[in-house]
Amino acid sequence: MSKDAEIDMKEVELNELDPEKQPMTGDGQAAAAEKNGSVKLKVPEDEVAFTGLSKEQLMKVAGTPGWVRTRWVLLVLFWLGWVGMLAGAIVIIVQAPRCKPIPEMNWWNEGPLYQISDLEAFSEDIAGVEAKLDEINQLKVKGLVLGPLHNVQKDQPSSLNLQEINPLLGTKEALIAMLEKAHKKGISVVLDLTPNYLGAASWFSTTNVDEEVMEKLKLAAEYWKSMGVDGIKISDLPVASKSADWQKLPAVQGNHTEDTKKWALMGVVNNMSAAEVSQLVNTTGVDLVLSDLLSSKQGKERIRAMDILNSQQRSVGWGLGATQQDQMSKSTSLIRLHQLLLFTMPGTPVFTYGDEIGLNAEGAESPKMVWNIEKEPAEGAAVNETAKAERKERIDVKNWFKALSELRGKERSLLHGDYYPLYSSDSSIAFLRLWDQSERYVTAVNWGTTPEKLTLTLAPTEGVELPETAKVAHSIGKDLKEGSSLRLDDITLQPGQAVLLQFPYTG
């Protein structure tokens, strides 16, 4: 075959395309004269493109009387609508109830304090406390009170060194590491610097504080503050505050702003009346006074103490056994009832380690803390029914503690709300907590040995009323089911029974 013939055959092959590869023209096969891939469209010759109105035409139409009136009507309607919405917003703002300003809150007002008086019994040493911070954080505590940790020989003021840690409890480096981890979790740390904590007299004397001891305390407070400690605690505040050099200690605090955490000075008192505690709050410059007023078994005395101190609640701490650094179980077997009371009273609740599980404390020795209570026994291990029941009770108490701590931290009525007494007897009390437009709460407890009917009475107060019924938020007792409704004029509590009732703000 000649060379020209081969070229002609290739052209034929290229032109004979498969139907799928042929161009789509809308008219079937492409014309022989058209090249592959080309598409021809026929445009009607009589089609006219729309170009719209010109500027001159639009201006002419816009100037007609009809369009002018329409524009004016729309403009007037727009401004009338705008003015109407503005007036409505003003009316809503004026008529809406004004929010009550939040009082000044410091970190010790925002949650419970947790005392670790015996580090060896709790977790061996300072490093052990650091290792347990995750578990402590689950309790929603806002502050740890550690120690005393410093070196001193019993009743020997010359051996007092408040800036040196007992080597059996750890090192300064371990304390600083623990502080850093605690601060990351939002937990503040207070050191107990009670000078003669091993002796009978906290200040080596029951009447006069040695000038040298007070100077050592002041220097130690400044030193630990520079190390990142958030405050100090001292025992026997009435004795210490009588010192001629006492005012040196509150002066350590210095100035603070809204952006800086306030340094805390915490004092402990025992066997004082509510009126005397109130006077110490007003005169000593202490930020938080922890009293043993709750140790009274009389409901009338407890409610009277709250009546006197509720206006100073941001400077008052409550505990049961806490002033002696004892567990709650030394004072009562009704652990959950008193936890409910502490978490809902006006003031800061203070607990000693182990209170969150109802740790049993007997005698003078500090009880060993029990850990890993949620851990199930190994499969196949012998079952001790007594130990099993004790473990379950500890878990229940801890869950109860955590629920109350979380509730107090998020409810303004419980956190810093107003307080109103409702009922008191030898073995029962009830009171109301409320804040502005937040949920209201009624606490009612009976630690007696017989059933008691509570007649709730609220003194006439503008804007404060009790509803007919309230919802059970938390309770101790099978007949008070959480979430159920309870009539406030028909509350009968069985021995050891307690209830926290909730009702909404109605305006």
Q: How far out from the chain centre does Cα 407 lie?
A: 8
The strand ranges marked E within 344-459 are: 348-352, 418-424, 428-434, 440-446, 452-454
The angle at the Cα of 333, spanning 328 to 336, to the nearest 5 degrees, equals 75
Compare 119 and 462 and report the one with higher pLDDT.
Answer: 119
pLDDT band at 27 (very low <50, low <70, confident <90, very high): very low
Which pTM does this prediction carry? 0.81
Looking at residues 462-468, what average pLDDT do you find? 88
Report the pLDDT value the prediction gives residue 203, as an integer from 0 to 100.
95
Place of tokens 């939040």: 102
pLDDT in tens, 67-116: 788 888 888 989 989 998 988 888 877 766 667 778 888 999 999 999 99
Q: Is the pLDDT of residue 462 over 50?
A: yes
Structure tokens at 211: 């000038």
Share of the chain above pLDDT 90, in %: 67
- 381-402 pLDDT, tens digit each: 667 788 888 999 999 999 999 9
CA-based nearest residue to 236, from 215, 273, 207: 207
Give residue 40's pLDDT. 57
Tokens 């019994």, residue?
121
Of residues 446, 492, 451, the one with CA closest to residue 337: 446
Strands 452-454 and 491-493: antiparallel
> What's the pLDDT band for 41 if we cut at 50, 70, 90?
low
What pLDDT score does 314 carry? 95
pLDDT on residue 343: 98
pLDDT of 257 above 60? no
* 178-224 residue pLDDT tens: 999 999 999 999 999 999 999 989 999 988 899 999 999 999 999 99
**CA–CA separation, 496 and 500 (whole Å):** 14
Q: Is the pLDDT of residue 325 over 50?
A: yes
Res. 459: pLDDT tops 60:
yes
pLDDT in tens, 340-382: 999 999 999 999 999 999 999 887 789 999 998 887 776 666 6
Instruction: Give percent above pLDDT 70 in the chain.
Output: 86
- Contacts for 68 with CB less than 8 Å, ≥ 6 apart: none
Average pLDDT, the chain: 87
pLDDT of residue 88: 85
H/E run at residue 10: helix 3-15
DSSP-derived secondary structure for 343-357: HHSSSEEEEETTGGG
Burial of 495 (0-12, 13-18, 19+ CB in 10 A): middle
Q: What mean pLDDT is predicted for residues 480-484?
A: 90
Specify the pLDDT at position 28.
45
Spatial contact of 206 and 235, defined as CB atoms under 8 Å apart: no
Q: What is the pLDDT of residue 430?
A: 97
Instruction: Give the residue among 207, 235, 212 at the shortest CA–CA distance from 159.
Output: 212
- The 3 state secondary structure assigned to 222-274 is HHHHHCCCCEEEECCHHHHCCCCCHHHCHHHHCCCCCCCCCCEEEEECCCCCH
Task: Say which amino acid occupies 53.
Answer: L
